[in-house]
Structure formats: structure tokens, C-alpha cells
Structure 1
């Protein structure tokens, strides 16, 4: 964990936001895989980690926004636990490490919440994404677990986002560690992209590298020859010479900060002419977006500018036609680029989206689009110094989507469907970097994973 002043300062920032009542931030518990004693690898709630720092199950934090008092609730282990787990640090000693003097058994949390509610004080809590915490909130507040999400505090959500979205220098250093591990994961995958290799072997090797670097993969690894499926977690195929392997993966640091990269590799180490042409379009789009990222610009405008680069490149290849700006305004590029340019990243790979993506990525000024493709943009608002974001344009040939648009005549003035149908077996290409928004512009975090076609071919061919 960071030093205790970090967590004290963070909680003080939250207390300065003018909220009334008490704030309840639940940690996570263990989640059984198939029986109570056989659990998934524990992952603490990110907001609890951010403000309270303790990375073990069975905890809850409370902040009294009016008195300033702070508490951690949890239970010390008993002898049966010690037999299996070994001696454990008492809760009061762990709490002191993050600057909190007040601790109590977990059951006392119910008394604190009841007292606040009986006094007509607001109990602010965050949306729960795990069933156990929805049930706990029902028991604490009396609100049904089926509807408790609707009663999450928008005031607390917005206050936390305003603090967490600006990354501290020490957070950026943690993200750099995750990026260094991600670099090793992706270069290893490139080296393994040989004909006859099982996709699962590569994905499993990458996950092992992540754990060896200090933490689990930051999300389930996407790796497939069928890159036209945007989130393809099926790793069942054997790599074939000449196909493209799309790999989207990242690592967590020991303190759970994330990285998130995508590279697309030719199996066997040689891009075909057609593959290289599309690859260069996506790479130009990625580079242009990085160039445009700076404080004060909206990420929605960067997304649309990137879409124009892609549309222009596809027009040169005969896949699109007409005026490029008009094509993007009409959403014609989304046949090939049906997702957003990127998202926030930090303690979560999609940072803070458990609090509500609409609040993380948008605000009163910048609202989401309802147009296919741009509607999937997860981050649209103005960028600020200290944001950490992803830049991940992609170009895909999705047969079902091609068929639908062609049958309906969608954007027929901008799409050369005869040419597009020649690419039905192409797959997809996505290229993703992690970006820190700086005072003067942006910088790629850590050493950039090899990205030019020549670099990637050389790595694969070396094996």
C-alpha cells in the first residue's frame, strides 16, 4: 500500500466535497468458485482500496462527513482461522497503517447505519456490483436488493469520480509497473504467434506473466484469430499461417493498478499486402489520436477525428467513397470501427465504471451520442491533466454486420460493398496504447510495445 498520509489526504478531499451524513464504502468478501472454502482469487473493491487501502476481505469503511470521524469495521481472526492462515495482524494495527484510529467488529456497522437513519441523516453508498454486497446493503438499509442500485448516492459517486479521475504521481508509477508487465505479455504473445500453436497456450502464458509481475490479468484476456469479434475470449483454435492474431490484454500491479494493450500479429510473421494496408490505416489512426490528446479537448472530438483518419485511409483502398467528413458525420465508418476510441484507466481497467460509466465518461456539457458506433464511446468529456486513458482504434470486417447494412442500404453512398465483401474473411485489427494526459499534451506510458509492421514481423520471425 501507499503511505498512510496518501489515504488520509484522499479521505480529507472526499470530506471537503460538502456532503452531509455518512459515507459507507463496502469492501469485497471472498467469492466461492464451487464451494465456500474454494474461492476465486480475492480482488478488493477499488473505491475501498483508494480511500482505505486494506487489501483483504470482510471490511467496510465509514466516513462521517459532518464530524469528520472515520471508521473501519471488520473482525479479527480466531484460532481456527490462524490454523489455516497463520498469525494475522490485528485490525486496529492494519487500520493505523492507513491513518484510521477507530475500528470495530463488523456487526457494529449495523448499529452505526441504523443510528444515522434513525436520526434522518443521509447514508451515502455506492452501486454494488456483487450480489453479496447488494444483500448486505438490503440488510443495512432495508432497501430491497433488487432495487438498491437505484438508491446509490449520486452525490458520493460524483465526488469520488472527481477525485479518482486525476491520477497522483505515485499512481502513474504503479500504472507504469502494470504497463511493463503488459509489455512482456504482448511481446511473448508475438513470439508465440507461430502456425500450429494453440491460442489457449498463448493466453495462459500471458496470464502467468501477469501473475509473475505481481497481479492477475486486469481483465479476461482477449486473444483470437477471429479478431472481428471485439471481445473474443474463445481460445480454442490452432493458429494458421497467414491469419491475424488479435490480442487485447493487460496486467495489474501489486497494488491493483491496470494496464490495457492491444496488438495484432500476423501468424508466422509476415503481413500480406492486404493486411499491411489495413494495418497501416489503423496505425495512422492510433498515432493521430495520440497527437490530438491534450488537456481541454473533448475525447469525443478526438474519436471523431480518428474516425476521419480511418475513413480516409479506407477510401484510398476503395472500401469507402464520397466525402470523408460527411461519411463520418453519417456514421459510415462504424461498419469498420463500431466501438469507441478509448476509456479511463486506473485502479480498474475501465476505471470507476462500477460507479456508472455515464458519470465517468460524460458530464453536463458532453453527452453520449445515439449514433451506432459513436454511441459505444465510453469517454467523451474534456480531458484534464492527470487523466490516464486508452487509445484503441480498430478496423474489423464483421460478416453479419456487412450483410445487414448491405441488405438495408445503410450508408450505401459511402460504402463500396462489392469491395468490402472481398474482405469477409479478413478478421480484425486493433492497436491500443495507454496514455497519460500531461500539461502540454500526452505521453504513452512506459516503453511502447512494438507496433510498426516491420517491428512485429521481426519479433515473430525471431520466435
Structure 2
């Protein structure tokens, strides 16, 4: 997509957002949609604020992520309005005047204080669906987050517009550039903290700009699913490296995980290669009409086959899945929706009226249970770990005799493997945004 195409594609996106908002307001019996960007939230007993994060319901409308105190107001049949806070302030940087491919689509009002927004909001707060956090309240405009409105909007957010997919493609480009820098830092012997800094510099995003906290684990730390301690000094020996880190673009996220071995000819590298092959097979299942829960169950079979083929567990793959043995090595879900949020909303929604689609029995950590449709963007992230707590549970369980504990002990110092890509469901073959971005970089 060229820069010349962006205004048209954004306009089409905004038309779809307005169509959804109109239907959602009708469901809830409201006249106006009012969406605050959010405001600073101060730490208790202190004058320091928490890092600001824009309301995702706000950035669905336009690519602004750093204008706290601003509002979007939409009334069906009218042009959407942006109340844009540009304060007089010599303590902090002030947002620049609105500009870009999106400005012609809004009626824009500049305000100088947060309270000035009150005179530009609809006359009757009771007729408004106000989507936001409690601390975004302004006078009588208190976020009410009506369930019928949220249910409709969140359900349909699963289907991304071409504009949104392009923003995620650009986020992926930032992410893979940073992942390559992180790998170079690992191979140069950097600490976890040093790798993290190299990542941020290459992404050109500070930690608060990233869509989530970087997971940077060397050696055994790769077995901690959400490891974020980041040792300041490198280990005596760097054997392995797992990085789960994303990047942002115009409010949209990418989510990428890669695993590396210091010895690229050893057994751990072979394990990485096996998980990578399995992951690409699972990515190919991202097609219309596929139940995402089945991809998760198939991922367990893939991991079980690797455990059998490497001699780590001597059981039939189906038996490993049925008895929960595979879950000791692969304890999390296969992935989730991604978009405006890393774990995007609507993953369990039965319909745009509400309801829940249950997770498979015995798989409590799966974050998505819906059937895929064109426009859905999901992550696919199988893993195989040697976590001490789970290995002890397995050793104490009924199937301990089927495990080659010498092999478990040999792999334990490497932590584990996780490979994750962001994949678009289309009418035809899936589009792997992550692999596409790596290929473009190389």
C-alpha cells in the first residue's frame, strides 16, 4: 500500500467503524457514542502518574495515542467530532496541531483545558453510550460502558479492515527489525537488560510505547512464560534465548516470539527447528470456518509428536493430550486475537448480542474460542518448556515412567522454546504478517 492509498483506505475503515457504532447505539437505545481518550492516573500517596495508555475504543477511530483529555463524539448521520486537548503547558510537551491523512474526516474542536470539553459534548449524558475508564469521567459524563453497545462493537472488532491490517503490517516491520537486533545482542553476549535496550532502540520505541512488556529470557528463564525480570549482568554462559516482544504503529500491535540456541548444531536447536515446522503447519490452518479451539488441540498433538520423536516421552501423542501430559510441556493457549490490543477483545463472544463460547475441557488458558472468519488476525504460538514446577508435577504423576528424565534434565538448562507469528485469515490462504516482515527485512 502506498502513502497515496492511505487516506482512501482509512476513510473506508472509518465508514465501517461508523456503521458498527450506529448499529451498536441502536441495540443499546442511545443517541450518541462518546469516547474519551483517557486521562492521567496518579499513583496513590504520590504526584507521579502511571504511564498513560490511550483508551482502545478511542484509537479505533483515529491514529492518535498521546492526547489524554480528548474525546470522540459520534451521532449517527453526522460527521464524527474530535474534541482535541492542546493545553497551554510549559511543564510538558504539548500535542501538535492535528494533521495527517485522517483530519479531513472529522469536525475538530481545539480545547485548552480538559474541562473545556464539557461545552462540546452532547446535551444529555443520559442519551450517551460512554465507553472508557472511570477516571475519564468529566462532570456528568461518566463512562457507563453499556453491555449491548460493547458486545456489538467488541464482537465485530474481530474482523479487521484493510486499513487495520496495513497498520499491523507496519507494526510487524518495526517488530522484526527489533527482533533481529535482539538476536545480534544475544550472540554478542549481552545481558537480558542489554538485549531489551537493543530491542527498544531498533524498534525506535520506548518501553511504554511497546504494546506489552518485553519478555527476554536467557537459559532457564525461557521456561518462565512471562519472564520480565531482565538480569542486568549476562550469565556465565548463554546457552539459549527466548524473546517475546512486539511493537506498535498508529495504535496497532504486533506480537512476535522467537527462540535461539547458542549452539546452532546441537539438540536444542533441533528442538527449535521442530517447533518451528509445527508452528508453520498450525499457521496454515488459519482459514475461514475453522474453529480456533481445534487449532489449539492440534497444537497439543504437534507438541506431543515432537516429545515422542525426540524420545522425551514414550507415549502415543493422542494419549499425551488426553491425559494432560502434553500440557505439562505446553501449558498455555495457542494464541489470541490481536489488533488495537495485544489480547484483543471478543475472543469468547458467542454473538454480537453477547454469550460465551466455552474453552475446551482441561485447557483453561486459551484466549480465543471463536470460529475464524476473513479479516480475523490471530497469533499462533506453540511452545515446549521444561519448567521446574510442571516437571515436578509430571514426575509425581501417573505417567512419570513414560518420561526420559535424563533428557528432561539435559534440556532444562535451556528453558524452553516458543515460536509466535501474527496471521491474517483471508478468503483464501492465510497471510503471515510476521514471516512476511522477516522476509522483507532480509
Partner of 2:418: 430
Partner of 1:99: 106
Partner of 1:454: none
Measure the CA separation in 2 of the matches of 1:59 and 1:95: 16
Query: Displacement of 1:58 after TM fit?
Result: 0.5
- Which one of the candidate residues 334, 350, 354 is aligned to 1:341? 334
- Which one of the candidate residues 417, 429, 433 is aligned to 1:441? 429
Aligned CA distance change for structure 1 residues 184 and 287 (closer, same or farther; 3 Å): same
Query: Displacement of 1:423 after TM fit?
Result: 3.5
1:369 aligns to 2:360 (yes or no): yes
Measure the CA separation in 1 of the matches of 2:189 and 2:277: 31
Q: How does 1:11-50 map to 2 (within 5 A)?
A: 11-17=18-24, 18-19=26-27, 20-21=29-30, 22-31=32-41, 42-50=52-60
Measure the CA separation in 2 of the matches of 1:29 and 1:162: 26
Measure the CA separation in 2 of the matches of 1:114 and 1:167: 33
Query: Displacement of 1:114 after TM fit?
Result: 8.1
Query: Displacement of 1:256 after TM fit?
Result: 2.1
Query: Displacement of 1:232 after TM fit?
Result: 0.8
Measure the CA separation in 2 of the matches of 1:138 and 1:364: 32
Answer yes or no: is the 8 Å Cα contact 2:290–2:372 preserved in 1: yes
Aligned CA distance change for structure 1 residues 110 and 228 (closer, same or farther; 3 Å): same
Partner of 1:134: 134
Partner of 1:404: 393
Partner of 2:72: 61
Answer yes or no: is the 8 Å Cα contact 1:195–1:239 preserved in 2: no
| SS of the residue 1:301 aligns to | helix
Partner of 2:241: 245
Aligned CA distance change for structure 1 residues 406 and 262 (closer, same or farther; 3 Å): same
Scaled by the length of structure 1, the TM-score of the pair is 0.78
Partner of 1:7: 14
Scaled by the length of structure 2, the TM-score of the pair is 0.81
Query: Displacement of 1:106 after TM fit?
Result: 5.3
1:173 aligns to 2:166 (yes or no): yes
Query: Displacement of 1:406 after TM fit?
Result: 2.3
Partner of 1:145: none
Q: Which moved more, 1:297-306 or 1:7-16?
A: 7-16
Instruction: Give CA-to-partner distance per residue, 1:44-73, whole Å, 9 cap, x none.
Output: 2222011255441102233346x7685444
Query: Displacement of 1:370 after TM fit?
Result: 4.5
| SS of the residue 2:300 aligns to | helix
Measure the CA separation in 2 of the matches of 1:299 and 1:324: 20
Measure the CA separation in 1 of the matches of 2:197 and 2:372: 36
Measure the CA separation in 2 of the matches of 1:216 and 1:84: 17
Measure the CA separation in 2 of the matches of 1:410 and 1:97: 66
Measure the CA separation in 2 of the matches of 1:203 and 1:85: 26
Instruction: Give CA-to-partner distance per residue, 1:235-275, whole Å, 9 cap, x none.
Output: 1141454511101111112x1221111111123x53422x1
| SS of the residue 1:23 aligns to | strand
Measure the CA separation in 2 of the matches of 1:333 and 1:41: 38
Answer yes or no: is the 8 Å Cα contact 1:246–1:265 preserved in 2: yes
Query: Displacement of 1:177 after TM fit?
Result: 1.4
Answer yes or no: is the 8 Å Cα contact 2:336–2:347 preserved in 1: no
Instruction: Give CA-to-partner distance per residue, 1:312-333, whole Å, 9 cap, x none.
Output: 1101222223332232133221
Answer yes or no: is the 8 Å Cα contact 2:205–2:247 preserved in 1: no
Query: Displacement of 1:113 after TM fit?
Result: 7.4
Instruction: Give CA-to-partner distance per residue, 1:136-168, whole Å, 9 cap, x none.
Output: 4496477xxxxx8xx632222222123322222
Measure the CA separation in 2 of the matches of 1:347 and 1:331: 33
- Which one of the candidate residues 158, 166, 183 is aligned to 2:176? 183
Q: How does 1:276-315 map to 2 (within 5 A)?
A: 276-315=269-308
Q: Which moved more, 1:325-334 or 1:202-211?
A: 325-334
Q: How does 1:268-279 map to 2 (within 5 A)?
A: 269-273=263-267, 275-279=268-272
Aligned CA distance change for structure 1 residues 413 and 138 (closer, same or farther; 3 Å): farther
Q: Which moved more, 1:35-44 or 1:216-225?
A: 35-44
1:259 aligns to 2:267 (yes or no): no
| SS of the residue 1:429 aligns to | strand
Measure the CA separation in 1 of the matches of 2:344 and 2:182: 25
Instruction: Give CA-to-partner distance per residue, 1:269-303, whole Å, 9 cap, x none.
Output: 53422x13322331132022012221110111011
Measure the CA separation in 2 of the matches of 1:450 and 1:61: 36
Measure the CA separation in 2 of the matches of 1:310 and 1:15: 45
Aligned CA distance change for structure 1 residues 318 and 12 (closer, same or farther; 3 Å): same
Answer yes or no: is the 8 Å Cα contact 2:42–2:49 preserved in 1: yes
Query: Displacement of 1:420 after TM fit?
Result: 3.2
Query: Displacement of 1:233 after TM fit?
Result: 0.9
1:320 aligns to 2:320 (yes or no): no
Answer yes or no: is the 8 Å Cα contact 2:286–2:425 preserved in 1: yes
Where structure 1 has 5 or more consecutive residues not aligned to the other structure, the ranges are 143-147, 452-458
Measure the CA separation in 2 of the matches of 1:279 and 1:109: 54
